A and B are shown apart, each in its own frame.
Chain A
């Protein structure tokens, strides 16, 4: 039995939306090098629609696949839909992740939320502070990321 689903391996081998958006409207980063994974999400937003999204990831196979899938799931979507994206949705879209890799999908959700928060902050848009915390928390080590 393979370690990962075919979907995970496809997104790992051929990651979608890798790169940087230089003039991004929102940027979010979750994870830290000590834990061994960092995800950075760049958003381009026009009229409340995510017109472009790119990611950079330092991490394992499932971290790269989770980033790739998460960007696919929010590309072209309204920001309220992106904000509602859960790690569960990312995991399901990947046909599942091994239990000890679920935190990778959490990082993807957190990185997107932080990128949206950055966009709200820059544009003076009101948002629910509980839904968009100041800092991501690594799901696996439970420590704040910086």
Chain B
């Protein structure tokens, strides 16, 4: 099997698993308990917090452990909105292709009277700092823009956007779920006020994440209850997962440059290979993208059947077609970069990792080429394109 869906989730690293084990059967005390057995767990928790803070370039007290990226996004956005509201500031800036954890939270705020500006991400899938500067108003309380897109992998100019937000004194949150462990992330250098990340995207465990919130930012609780996480996130801390996350993040960051160089080389070969399929096109900027992300649209075919046939060939991949999203519309990300519906249905995302081999790349290029050709041969839509009854969107 070739696992090429690392943007969905990753295999846990051995280091992360080993880091978790002692906290399941040996040091399993509750960190809130006062006896030393509980305090041992507390010590581990604070050690993990300090290590994660060190990687991100912040203070340990600025780290809140959450159940994952979605919860962190929700808490960051709701907190900024509540503080803004108190000052009569009810305008939020974001982009059209954020993750649903951000977009659906913003929709909820819209119903509560907030005004949301979703910036255009252009055909290359990148927003510009100038767009942000132009969109900021007197009543803007938050700018929330993802670090790198989860579907097409495009990297946003986060440090520059952060600088503008600082100058205009507007809070800046970034969903760094796809970036953490894969790109250089430093909240201080990149002028980030709040950041969300999720461990299972960098070979850590599922169900654990981080919200970084700069000192001084008043957080609203999403989960109410006990006084854990300085009272900002109730619930007994998931110590094993937190230990696994800290180990996975340190490992990913230590190997970041080497992995990145290796992945970019493989990614380029994959892009060049798939680019040979006629009437297909890469989605998102050619170079300014996550090292392991490849995303194509192919005319005349539908993504779900493509995925099922690739599965038969042992390849795990993903698509932005409506049939795979469970909704009537194809991926909002592909629509945001201007892909028409009929083309967006024929999308394929392959997200590789450092274990992917040159042979895997060769096999994937062959398999995708074969399956696309096979599906086109039974597609009346493709026949119409070939016969000139419908117009091609892409060049050959």
Contact = CB atoms under 8 A, between A and B. Distances in A.
Contacts of B328: 35, 140-141
A35 to B, nearest CB: 7
A100 to B, nearest CB: 6
Interface stretch (A11-19, A69-77, A120-128): A11-19
A17 B323 CA distance: 24
A19 B379 CA distance: 9
A36 B320 CA distance: 11
Nearest to B304: A60
Given A13-B312, A36-B302, A36-B322, A64 B378 contact: yes
Interface residues of B, number: 26
Interface residues of A, number: 28
Interface in B323-343: 323, 326, 328, 330, 340-342
Interface of A: 9, 12-13, 15, 18-20, 29, 33-40, 56-61, 63-64, 100-101, 140-141
Given A15-B378, A35-B322, A36-B323, 12 more contacts: A13-B309, A18-B378, A29-B380, A36-B341, A36-B345, A57-B378, A58-B301, A58-B380, A58-B381, A60-B305, A64-B378, A141-B328
- Of all A-B residue pairs in the complex, the 10 with the closest CB atoms, nearest first, are A33-B342, A60-B304, A60-B323, A58-B381, A36-B345, A58-B379, A40-B380, A56-B380, A34-B341, A61-B308
26 contacts: A9-B308, A12-B305, A19-B378, A33-B345, A34-B340, A34-B341, A34-B342, A35-B328, A36-B302, A36-B322, A36-B330, A39-B380, A56-B378, A56-B379, A56-B383, A57-B378, A58-B380, A58-B381, A59-B302, A59-B305, A60-B303, A60-B305, A60-B321, A60-B323, A61-B304, A61-B305
